[in-house]
Amino acid sequence: ASLYFRYALDASILGHIPHGYAFPNIGWPLILSAFFSFLKSGNLLDYMNLQRLLTMSISLLTIIPVYLLCRKFFDKNLALVGAALFAFEPRTIQNSLLGLTDSSFVCLTVLSLTLFFSKKTIWTYISFGIIACLATIRYEGLLLIFPFAVMHFVRFRKETRGKSKTIIAIGIFVLILVLTLAIRAYTIGSEGVIDNVVAGPEFGIKMIQTNGAGEFSKSL
């Protein structure tokens, strides 16, 4: 949380993506920096409180799409129970108070699912765009494209243009993701998402070659 805080503060002061930070999840601190730029205070505690306030607000707003998502599968009463279980889950409260990426990641994930199950095709396309934005908050969001693409194909496979709709949805995801990564690569010289995915196996191979499989298992 402190690393995201420093990144957001530097970005708000400099007015662009700062250099010298070796982590890919720049989506959340960039959102923070936008709010920091409106807060004119010489007290760092004010900025820290704003970070916590934002994550708590996002968690509260997430209750709405959680309820709408539950409502698509259950009746009104059970949907309220599902939303309540999310709202009072201890880890949701803890992560909100820490100012981490979990609140925004969960919010966008639930929102994408809610829009995906909408009856209008345009909302399903928007859900794929949200998944691309998820990858900038936590690059694990890239993994969601696979189940979403499969579900989209299964859902529209019986329609005349079912395959075309799935291709369009995946194209929206790729377009937004590529534009986002291109901006980061142009600014700091590294796109930060694909690099980190590729770096995982390379790190494992290097550790095994240097210290043996035993030391690599300890590092995990």
pLDDT digits (tens, 9 = 90+) for 124-167: 999 999 998 888 888 788 888 999 999 988 888 887 787 888 89
Greater confidence (185 vs 162) lies with: 162
Dihedral in degrees, nearest 10, Cα atoms 69, 70, 72, 73: 140
How far is it, in rounded angstroms, from Cα 208 to Cα 219?
11
CB distance 148 to 128 below 8 Å = yes
Distance of CA 171 to the CA centre of its chain: 19
- Tokens, residue 160: 């005349």
Greater confidence (192 vs 50) lies with: 50
pLDDT digits (tens, 9 = 90+) for 64-101: 999 999 999 999 999 999 999 988 888 888 888 888 88
